[in-house]
Structure 1
Amino acid sequence: MTSWDGPAAIRQSPPVDLSVPYDAAWVKDKVILITGGASGFGAGFVRQWANSGSTVIVGDINVEKGDALVREVRNETGKDSVHFVHCDVTDWQSQVNLFKEAVKLSPHGGIDAVVANAGIAGADPMQRPRGLNAAEPPEPNFKIMDVNCTGVMYTAHLAYYWLPRNPGSTPCNKDSAPANTTRDRHLLLLGSIASLAPIVGQPQYGAAKHAVLGLFRSLRATSHLGGVRVNLLCPYFIDTPIVTTLARVVLAGGAMGKVEDVVDAGTRFVADSRILGRALVVGPKVTLKQLDDGEWDLVSKDTPGVIETAVWEPCADDWEEVDAFDRNIVRILNAVQASRGWIGWAKDMIKAVLYGLGYGRS
């Protein structure tokens, strides 16, 4: 029996080889829309891509920071190819307006890349509820979920509308030539290390970022249908204003990641049109050596055979090697389908049609 080749079926590119260089100049002439780009590594993305020749449309709720960033970058580049548009990502119409304005500002009338970067963190009322003596429980503030989950879903939905309409673009292809692929269709999602592991005291943030991971894993399985390539960045704690004083106290003695490493990983995704359906974790730069059992060990820089990196790839073999439970449950379900055969399929089809006509509903 021939095994199913998952990566080939969904047209996913192979795991990212970080030793292979990319050229940041590959983003030249691309039109990139980024939410939450007024500060943090979002602002780092804007500076990098604008300096590499992109047209960048920054959507952010903070008008003061957004305007200031655009003025600074225009002075640096000597070009007016960076634009700020006020946007509240939790408001559907505000995001619709952002995308429409981006298309108007685009030199070619289309969008090559959408970066769902907007995100917030903070005290979580779910973990620390107030008013426990009140007659009724107080309504919680789910702003973190609104921005980090609903806002990202809005952005992804709009990206899937506009990206396939990008003039001169073609469906994504892992065998494309990035140096010549000026018109692109790329959605870059911003997850977090909280997409992969829990952060104590931050259930809302963790739930939202787990949702972004789920969105990524679902979209990349069918991204070839609309020709949109989907990738994901999962930064660890990065030295930006989103890391609160309390978080810095908790992290004391450890290490945080650097903005430039996140920008580098994000630029690789945006620039290299051959990368489809991949995720990268960005953390503090460390020196590692791979052991015989495949595990990594933290070692000193003078140890033979070490590598220095701030980037790792999670979910690299999702479609080839999944955990034992997934393998077993899928095998069992496939066996059930095989045992029922075409007769079972025909019965289910008849039931489905009747259900659609209103029969058999309770």
Structure 2
Amino acid sequence: MTSNSTGLSAYIKQSPPLDFSIPYDDAWVKDRTIVVTGGASGFGAGFVRRWAANGATVIIGDVNVEKGDALARAIRKETGRDRAAHFVHCDVTNWQSQVNLFKEAVKWSPHGGIDTVVANAGIQANDRLQQPGDLGAAEPQPPNFATMDVNVTGVLYTTHLAYYWLPKNPGSKPCNMNSVPDKQTRDRNLVLLGSIASLAPIAAAPLYGASKHAVLGLFRSLRSTSHMEGIRVNIVLPYFIDTAIVPPMAKLLLAGGGMGKVEDVVEAATRLVADTRILGRGIVVGPKVTIKQDESGEFKLVNKDTEGSTETALWEAYADDWEEVDAFDRRVVKLLNAVEQARGWVGWATDIAKLVGYQVFGYGGERS
């Protein structure tokens, strides 16, 4: 183990921070095959409609058969393309159900592969983690962890399957931030759906907050090796958006503060899906506001007619966090190197002897 003055960020290959003033073209999704879990309603339905309208083949995976099938039929009618959209019943918490979704997507794909996977399925069930119920009962009842099952286990299943099928996409190449998006029709792309709850605690919703923190942690780990595995990984982090997933009580508490719009979430995801140059980036979606940056670099809310102002609902999160990790990284590596040097060859030999003992005799394998 050696210290490196350039730090960990030298090994992390990511595209430059996003500049939302640079245009992209929806038409870049033309002829791609895109899988969207939870695609029958909310953000998912918005993704499906926009991408199919621009020439993509979109496979909708959802537990809601009525909505999913109706959406696929409507899109095929609107676009006049039989392969514009296809619905597959999918329970993301069931491994085989997700496997079946991906198999069906490959069959339905015009080119026999999958270009983009969007892990969109998510719920916010009744959060009873800190509400054990009847304290006079003989023993507590098991809590309902459906939120974790869908938002974490389901996303992990989707991610695992994406890493299996995306590299098998015929005609695709490993991701490259220098690619020319209007020339690269085949892709290897995973988009995760986080939340403002990935970035900040949400009062009275510990399960939902924990689940979305997990999705952010997954993204931040995966993107560090995306250039090695050849798969573009990005994330969308919506604020409270005016959809059915936001419970009435939350909408009451948010009244007067502004909520985000579904079309802005779709806009953020479309940029990430369409532009093959974007690797390892996260977009926060909030209420649309007019801002101007002051001399200190801080953004201030201003009137729409203010000179130099910008209207936006999109912000980049964690643009430079690997750079920020460097200071911590160098300190820890320096300390670990000092420990290694202090122990010397005796310490090395002791560790090797322990390793041999674990493998041969099976002792020392206890885990905390």
- When the two structures are superposed, what TM-score results if normalisation uses the length of structure 2? 0.92
Residue matched to 2:167: 164
**Corresponding residue of 1:297:** 300
CA distance in 2, matches of 1:117, 1:41: 8
How many residue pairs match? The answer is 362
Query: 1:164 is aligned with what amino acid?
Result: P
What letter is aligned with 2:60? V
TM-score (normalizing by structure 1): 0.94
Shift of 1:239: 1.1
Q: Calculate the aligned-residue CA RMSD, in Å.
A: 2.1
Alpha-carbon distance in structure 1 between the residues aligned to 2:74 and 2:258:
30
Matches within 5 A, 1:1-362: 3-4=5-6, 6-81=8-83, 82-322=85-325, 328-337=331-340, 348-349=351-352, 351-358=354-361, 361=364
Shift in alpha-carbon separation, 1:322–1:58, aligned structure 2, 3 A: same
How far 1:214 sits from its partner (Å)? Answer: 0.6
Question: Aligned with 1:357: secondary structure?
Answer: helix
| CA shift in 2, pair 1:2/1:143, >3 Å | closer
The answer as to whether partners of 1:233 and 1:281 remain within 8 angstroms in 2 is: yes
Q: Deviations over 1:32-63 (max 9, x none)?
A: 00000000011000000000100000000000
Provide the C-alpha distance between the structure 1 equivalents of 2:146 and 2:92, rounded to a whole number of angstroms.
11
How far did 1:342 drift? 7.7
How far the C-alpha of 1:332 sits from its partner, in A, is: 3.0
CA shift at 1:328, angstroms?
A: 4.0
Q: Deviations over 1:68-111 (max 9, x none)?
A: 11111112111122000000001111001101111111111110
Distance in 1, matches of 2:340 and 2:354, equals 16
Cα pair distance change 1:5/1:49, threshold 3 Å:
farther
Distance in 2 (alpha carbons) for counterparts of 1:342 and 1:225: 34
Instruction: Between 22-31 and 286-295, report the one with greater CA deviation.
Output: 286-295
Contact 1:27 1:54 in 2 (8 A): yes
Give the 3-state SS of the residue equivalent to 1:232 in structure 2.
strand
Going from structure 1 to structure 2, the CA distance change for 1:221 and 1:350 (only over 3 Å counts) comes to farther
| Structure 2 unmatched runs, 5+ | none
Change (3 A) 1:124 1:327: farther
DSSP 3-state at the match of 1:212: helix
State the 1:304 CA deviation.
2.6
**Structure 1 alignment gaps of length 5 or more:** none
Higher mean Cα deviation, 332-341 or 93-102? 332-341
User: Contact 1:60 / 1:66 at 8 angstroms: preserved in 2?
Assistant: yes
Give 1:329 shift: 3.7
> What are the Cα deviations for residues 187-208 of structure 1, in whole angstroms up to 9, with x where unaligned?
1000000001010010000000
Percentage of pairs with the same residue: 68
Specify the SS of the correspondent of 2:317: coil
Q: Which amino acid aligns with 1:288?
A: I
Say if 1:201 and 1:177 are closer, same or farther in 2 by CA, change over 3 A.
same
Q: For 1:120 and 1:302, how far apart are their aligned partners in 2? A: 39
Task: Report the Cα distance in structure 1 between the residues aligned to 2:153 and 2:27, rounded to whole angstroms.
Answer: 33
CA gap of 1:177–1:134, structure 2 versus 1, over 3 A, is: same
Query: Structure 1 residues 360, 273: closer, same or farther in 2, change over 3 A?
Result: same
